[in-house]
């Protein structure tokens, strides 16, 4: 979207440290004074609540301290194999965990709603581990799922996956920074053989992208209570490789350093969802238009109202999102 607005008085990036209640330490690490609460996995059935999905943690890469939090319906549909969604949480690459209460609850509800197996990935955070560290952790998760699909004996497969997973219907899904991870991982997988697993779709919910040029929605909502413009700028400064700015392709998918048309066309069918009250929505629209213009089939859903990460706060928006994902998953073969 072209920018014809006057640029408002945007607070300096330094003020965003106060907004997030964080402090950058001399060694490059971050003190996070306000952490999201976490929830443990719940691997045992609850006889009093048969609709409550189960969850368990599976180690992924000990060197990266990463893991998979796997969710499954407690009582799945009879004689049915379920799609596997490999999920990446939000948090601007700097905050949160697969165990963070909002993302644990969201994955749990989504597992029951679709129904599906949800493999939520614990990836490394910036600035302690700047990009592309999170992308590498995502590829570890893909390798784990591929190895599960290719295992030559039931004993080598996680029992929940052995029982329920349809490895011919695997989706990559992410919200905010996780949506960015989905896109970058989808591009990396163009050069990988993941058979017998088949990744049939990418689901990018409010993907976190930016750029040097300010969009209309960024300027309109520059003082947003969830993602103010100076806050997004700070997150990118902490997440991008040292010396990179927001023109880097990790941040701006429309930059000159991005992939060519031929690679975009080879991506799986993609769902891009956003909300009109999100400062990032114009960039998300540009991203969806770019995918379509380069020959990729895109299901673009831009909803009136809402705000960034609204599904974590409002059950109605959450249910609408899960309905949309269920419909998308049902159309992908």
Q: Is 176 a catalytic residue?
A: yes
Q: Which of 175, 176, 217, 270 is catalytic?
A: 176
Helix 133-150, helix 177-189: angle, nearest 10? 60
Query: Rounded to an integer, what distance in angstroms lies between the CA atom of residue 303 and that of residue 242?
Result: 36
Please, what's the b/e burial string for 250-284 (b: 16 or more CB within 10 A of its CB; e: otherwise)? bbbbeeeeebeeeebeebbbbbbbbbebbbbbbbb
Q: Is 143 a catalytic residue?
A: no
Burial class (CB in 10 A: 0-12, 13-18, 19+), 290: middle
Query: Rounded to an integer, what distance in angstroms lies between the CA atom of residue 158 and that of residue 196?
Result: 16
Query: Rounded to an integer, what distance in angstroms lies between the CA atom of residue 250 and that of residue 209?
Result: 8
Phi/psi at 314 (5° precision): -125, 110
Q: Is 278 a catalytic residue?
A: yes
Q: Which of 89, 104, 230, 308 is catalytic?
A: 308
Query: Rounded to an integer, what distance in angstroms lies between the CA atom of residue 318 and that of residue 311?
Result: 4
Query: Rounded to an integer, what distance in angstroms lies between the CA atom of residue 95 and that of residue 98?
Result: 11
Compute, in degrees rounded to 10, the torsion defined by CA atoms 177, 203, 186, 255. -60
Q: Are 62 and 137 in contact (CB under 8 A)?
A: no
Q: Which of 224, 252, 278, 282 is catalytic?
A: 278
Q: How many CB atoms lie within 10 A of CB 64?
A: 16
**3-state SS string for 262-298:** HHHHCCCEEEEEEECCCCCHHHHHHHHHHHHHCCCCE
Query: Rounded to an integer, what distance in angstroms lies between the CA atom of residue 268 and that of residue 8?
Result: 39
Active site residues per annotation:
176, 278, 308
């Amino acid at each position: 979207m072209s920018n014809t607005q006057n640029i408002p008085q945007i607070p300096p990036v330094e003020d965003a440290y106060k907004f997030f209640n964080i402090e950058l330490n001399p060694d490059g690490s971050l003190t996070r004074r306000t952490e999201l609460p976490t929830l443990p996995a719940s691997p045992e059935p609850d006889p009093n609540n048969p609709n409550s999905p189960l969850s368990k943690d599976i180690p992924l890469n000990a060197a990266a301290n990463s893991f998979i939090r796997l969710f499954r319906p407690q009582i799945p549909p009879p004689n049915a194999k379920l799609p596997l969604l490999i999920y990446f949480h939000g948090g601007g690459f700097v905050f949160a965990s697969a165990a963070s209460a909002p993302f644990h609850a969201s994955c749990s509800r989504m597992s029951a709603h679709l129904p599906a197996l949800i493999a939520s990935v614990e990836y490394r955070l910036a600035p302690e581990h700047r990009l592309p560290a999170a992308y590498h952790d995502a590829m570890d998760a893909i390798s784990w799922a591929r190895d599960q699909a290719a295992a030559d004996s039931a004993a080598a497969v996680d029992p929940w996956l052995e029982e329920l997973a349809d490895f011919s219907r695997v989706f990559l899904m992410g919200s905010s920074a996780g949506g960015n991870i989905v896109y970058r991982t989808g591009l990396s997988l163009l050069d990988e053989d993941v058979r017998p697993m088949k990744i049939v779709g990418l689901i990018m919910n409010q993907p976190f992208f930016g750029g040097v040029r300010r969009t209309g929605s960024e300027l309109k909502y520059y003082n947003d209570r969830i993602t103010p413009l100076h806050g997004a700028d700070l997150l990118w400064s902490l997440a991008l490789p040292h010396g990179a700015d927001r023109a880097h392709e990790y941040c701006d998918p429309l930059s000159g350093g991005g992939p060519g048309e031929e690679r975009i066309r080879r991506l799986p069918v993609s769902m891009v969802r956003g909300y009109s009250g999100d400062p990032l929505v114009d960039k998300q629209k540009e991203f969806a238009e770019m995918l379509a213009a380069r020959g990729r089939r895109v299901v673009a859903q831009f909803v009136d109202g809402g705000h960034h990460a609204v599904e974590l706060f409002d059950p109605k928006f959450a249910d609408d999102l899960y309905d949309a994902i269920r419909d998308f998953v049902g159309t992908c073969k």
